Structure 1
């Protein structure tokens, strides 16, 4: 030991190594105690199981608690987390009732061995834990109240992409092909302006009022741009389960979707949920009734409070997105084209047109309300930004799809637990914001004679499609492609064809051109029979012609507009938005637990003086039978002879400690 004395200052050094306690160890302690107090850890042990060799005496719970600690710590990599944790490995595992810390390579093999059944079991537990403890026990879970006083819950569904930065490697005949570790979990995809990136896409679901995550979905289909429709169906199931747990009807949920989902084909996937989404079927602008309406005065004008963008809004209460597709409410927003090229929407004649699809009733939401509700999705982007800064869940933990999904679910679980602990630390009532005032601008400030009545702009009803006849080479005809409820076609090989072009033709007929994907056609065994050639250069295309049906008599009762369309109820109430603060509760917990001292002590137990008893083997053990689930779990369970661990946390309020089941010194 050496010392430097300079009155009144004394500095001493010693070669004795005493590592400092990690700043995040106190938060890990509190969250581990909270999960044990709620029996969440025991539920994971019993219900999330994976039978796999070469894990030594570890079980799934041992790896799950390591990933929980990694998500809480915020360390940049698993290597950095292990280096910081190693001096405190024994007390860390003791927090979760386990003995030894798995090696990092063992964790990697575990993540690579995970299967879909284990991940789905963990996802189910995550949802059940979310449903079991709402943030506010005495009040509603926030929401939106429309102009008729009806209560809605808003959910945001969107995809987020993570790029895999890889070195450029030469590709020459004298070199073997490059072997990339992330080939199984990534694929070429689109990431902003950077095309050709290796990316992975996952779909996230957020409850917009509590800012809790409801799920993340990618699994085996997340490589590249992902399967956005398959993941959307999984998200809808999670939202429906959330509504059922809150004793709410499916009609009380509104799903906000961006332009990735903006066509009528995905409406069937929403299973009756209300929606607000940006549309991308700009061929609707060519319809005669749409052109006639756009030539007149708009229903409303709105100005964005932050950007100052002024939009003119045209409301179409019942428009057919495609001849075989659904009918929905479409709002067309127009604004002058100031930028070139246009990033959002389509530009025509120095005007930018944006489409918004919704099924929200006209009497409850004006066109300006619908557009404002969609543009309020900026709150979802801020939550994603907070998640990237605080947890960065898109860090690569595994080079396999299900291993990465396992990590993402645990990362979202930690986010929700922090929110829950923050509300326990600082209970606050739901705040209510006036989303839109009651004295909203009326839909039309012009003469009623200039506004087209519903009977004047009656939608065109088309008959069944007329397909092209079989070609002279006797290949597949258009009738061999079956029309699906989502507006796509299904070819004889079972692959989808999507609508690529819509154009009006003679006598009011509408032609729709469907096209397959070239990747499906190249690998198809029926390509020669379908495309009349053995070499597939272009994807198969099929066209259908829809002829309008004769309009019904104007005097019939069936053609009279519905009461809601003819005269929407007046906007008698303001639109109210109820939620809680986005960052305050979560960050207050982190700040409290990371800025206070944590003392960790290990007390060695006295060795027993009795001679060790002879270990008796059962016949099953001698024959190397498989261990039962209980035996596998007990191999790394903390034993009574292990050193006693004492952890003392400073600065914890008494009421907060009692709520978590912690002892007060």
Structure 2
């Protein structure tokens, strides 16, 4: 048997080293070509300007090329990335029109010295590229269609944290004060379920239908969430203006971090849905009164046995600034374990949801469902961590880490755009919530109730129902300050719920206001009764429709296109200079880099005309896709 194997399989070895092409190199070629074709590389070279500090011949575009390659590669560390790209450094830098690859130490010095002004210019260029000539897939009307037929654009704003562990170092007078590498980029903060002593928080903005990143803002520790929220709102405004979409149809989804009245002023009038964390709202009289009335709806999800009872308060004053919004209170019975979210009172768990969505287009159950749908944002962050992991430490300086995360989100968006060119598919439509059933006689409305109203008087000059005020404990107070309690609930034919309140006969017999209160005249055989009506909400009956694209399909189509395909590279030898050519004479400006113009600085590492031509052949690229990128098609 062994002889048979030896005769059919011949194994040879050679001492000649031929490194294998990285599996991600083909995708890097396609993305670099796309950036060049869209003019992005030229704009970065011209606009993102940063004076060099011990960077030798390199400029911002050289380091941006390395960061783009690092994000595309998915390598766990910069050291691993440099090991893979080094044998092909000339071809890699030629993709960006540059000559030499900066050393890893040079990149570290660049990221450590980067200024906030340069980062903001890079961020502005990222947003300009996103809002530039729109890809075909963005021309389709994606969004959320409400029950009244209006189209909404949904944006998710949330933060993610990266925790870091630090070694325990001695702190005694006989030794110097320990210097921490992550001192400028991290700070003590809430670590959540991640192990670590210090953290860095990153606020991200996502378009929930196209799954495109709009921005990223990082800060040490718990961050400055209100400042970052205002910047996120500004980016969303730019996005809406570029797409010519009205701001009143934009919906912002935020988590409980923002759930206070003080934050509402930062949203600049945008519609929103968020979880509230100020449980003092439950003690407001208007909220207590609503909780004593019958509930609007019940809400549950198929994957959970939890059933929430919903109470919709249409206008509640929130915060010290007096912001008005809609409040949905969800209650459910407490279990044997403590609830992670909400507050417990008298055996009930209470959750708060703040929103400015109109009642005529969204029911209370729709508001809760929209907030809980934020789980898709968490899966997007999980995909980002798996494929690119932008929270890993690329730099120990805040601005350097911020630049890396901007480039990482840039690559995510580029993969989406190229993936839609590879697999152009129509938008998908999902029934987010079914249409409301038609109202039936003597049944509760599917849309909930409008605010409670009282019946009008039968005779003039007599007390009307409006003179009997609803109390937080669910009773009525008459003009004589006596209490009326609920005695009957009747369902009307139109779906309204009539609550009948009655006083005690002993209170009415000796009351001095009985002539104004009783329409029977002096007959006091019966106590005063008052009806309170809960009319059904006038809500559109159409289904909620969610129109979006696949989160993974198109992006991974770009990633997997060339990961398992062969890539051939042929680098022609560089032209040798004439032996008679003498060394150039340097000017004082050339000796002192600070005196050089931006054009001269950029030309230092530009690809020279004497550099040998590099020919890269990509296999498995469809002809139509190659034509859209302006790539040549090789003959078989």
TM-score (norm 1): 0.80
Counterpart-to-counterpart distance in 2, 1:303 and 1:79: 49
Counterpart for residue 508 of structure 1: none
- Secondary structure of 2:383's counterpart equals helix
Kindly indicate whether the alpha-carbon contact (under 8 Å) linking 1:289 and 1:459 is maintained by their aligned counterparts in 2: no
Q: Equivalences for 1:317-328 in 2 at 5 Å?
A: 317-322=314-319, 324-328=321-325
Kindly indicate whether the alpha-carbon contact (under 8 Å) linking 1:114 and 1:402 is maintained by their aligned counterparts in 2: yes
Of the candidates 326, 340, 362, which is equivalent to residue 359 of structure 2? 362
Q: Residues 69-118 of structure 1, C-alpha deviation per residue, up to 9 Å, x if partnerless?
A: 00000000001111111111111111111011111111011001111111
Q: Residues 43-89 of structure 1, C-alpha deviation per residue, up to 9 Å, x if partnerless?
A: 00001110122110110100000010000000000011111111111
Counterpart-to-counterpart distance in 2, 1:241 and 1:114: 26
Q: Residues 166-193 of structure 1, C-alpha deviation per residue, up to 9 Å, x if partnerless?
A: 2223334444332110011100001115
Kindly indicate whether the alpha-carbon contact (under 8 Å) linking 1:188 and 1:196 is maintained by their aligned counterparts in 2: no
Counterpart for residue 397 of structure 1: 394
Residues 645 and 294 from structure 1, CA distance in 2 versus in 1: closer, same or farther, beyond 3 angstroms?
A: same
Q: Equivalences for 1:32-51 in 2 at 5 Å?
A: 32-51=32-51
Query: Post-superposition shift, 1:384?
Result: 0.2
- Secondary structure of 1:581's counterpart equals coil
- Secondary structure of 1:154's counterpart equals strand
Residues 280 and 606 from structure 1, CA distance in 2 versus in 1: closer, same or farther, beyond 3 angstroms?
A: closer
Q: Residues 518-547 of structure 1, C-alpha deviation per residue, up to 9 Å, x if partnerless?
A: xxxxxxxxxxxxxxxxxxxxxxxxxxxxxx
Residues 404 and 458 from structure 1, CA distance in 2 versus in 1: closer, same or farther, beyond 3 angstroms?
A: farther
Counterpart for residue 199 of structure 1: 199
- Secondary structure of 2:203's counterpart equals strand
C-alpha RMSD of matched pairs (Å): 2.6
Counterpart for residue 453 of structure 1: 452
Counterpart-to-counterpart distance in 1, 2:353 and 2:38: 44
Query: Post-superposition shift, 1:342?
Result: 1.4
Counterpart for residue 59 of structure 1: 59
Counterpart-to-counterpart distance in 2, 1:441 and 1:294: 26
Counterpart-to-counterpart distance in 2, 1:626 and 1:205: 40
Residues 141 and 417 from structure 1, CA distance in 2 versus in 1: closer, same or farther, beyond 3 angstroms?
A: farther
Q: Equivalences for 1:138-537 in 2 at 5 Å?
A: 139-192=139-192, 197-218=197-218, 222-322=219-319, 324-439=321-436, 445-446=443-444, 453=452
Of the candidates 580, 590, 595, which is equivalent to residue 559 of structure 2? 590
Query: Post-superposition shift, 1:134?
Result: 3.3
Query: Post-superposition shift, 1:305?
Result: 2.0
Residues 389 and 622 from structure 1, CA distance in 2 versus in 1: closer, same or farther, beyond 3 angstroms?
A: closer
Residues 430 and 137 from structure 1, CA distance in 2 versus in 1: closer, same or farther, beyond 3 angstroms?
A: closer
Counterpart-to-counterpart distance in 1, 2:139 and 2:12: 57
Counterpart-to-counterpart distance in 1, 2:566 and 2:225: 46
Where do 5+ consecutive residues of structure 2 fail to align?
Answer: 455-465, 472-533
Query: Post-superposition shift, 1:607?
Result: 2.7
- Secondary structure of 2:197's counterpart equals strand
Of the candidates 593, 596, 604, which is equivalent to residue 573 of structure 2? 604
Kindly indicate whether the alpha-carbon contact (under 8 Å) linking 1:393 and 1:411 is maintained by their aligned counterparts in 2: yes
- Secondary structure of 1:402's counterpart equals helix
Counterpart for residue 512 of structure 1: none
Kindly indicate whether the alpha-carbon contact (under 8 Å) linking 1:318 and 1:459 is maintained by their aligned counterparts in 2: no
Residues 459 and 320 from structure 1, CA distance in 2 versus in 1: closer, same or farther, beyond 3 angstroms?
A: farther
Counterpart-to-counterpart distance in 2, 1:247 and 1:214: 16
Structure whose CA Rg is larger? 2
Residues 186 and 342 from structure 1, CA distance in 2 versus in 1: closer, same or farther, beyond 3 angstroms?
A: same
Where do 5+ consecutive residues of structure 1 fail to align?
Answer: 461-564
Of the candidates 640, 648, 653, which is equivalent to residue 617 of structure 2? 648
Residues 282 and 459 from structure 1, CA distance in 2 versus in 1: closer, same or farther, beyond 3 angstroms?
A: farther
Answering whether residue 581 of structure 2 is matched by residue 580 of structure 1, we say no
Counterpart for residue 11 of structure 1: 11
Query: Post-superposition shift, 1:287?
Result: 2.0
Kindly indicate whether the alpha-carbon contact (under 8 Å) linking 1:67 and 1:407 is maintained by their aligned counterparts in 2: yes
Counterpart for residue 636 of structure 1: 605
Residues 445 and 195 from structure 1, CA distance in 2 versus in 1: closer, same or farther, beyond 3 angstroms?
A: farther
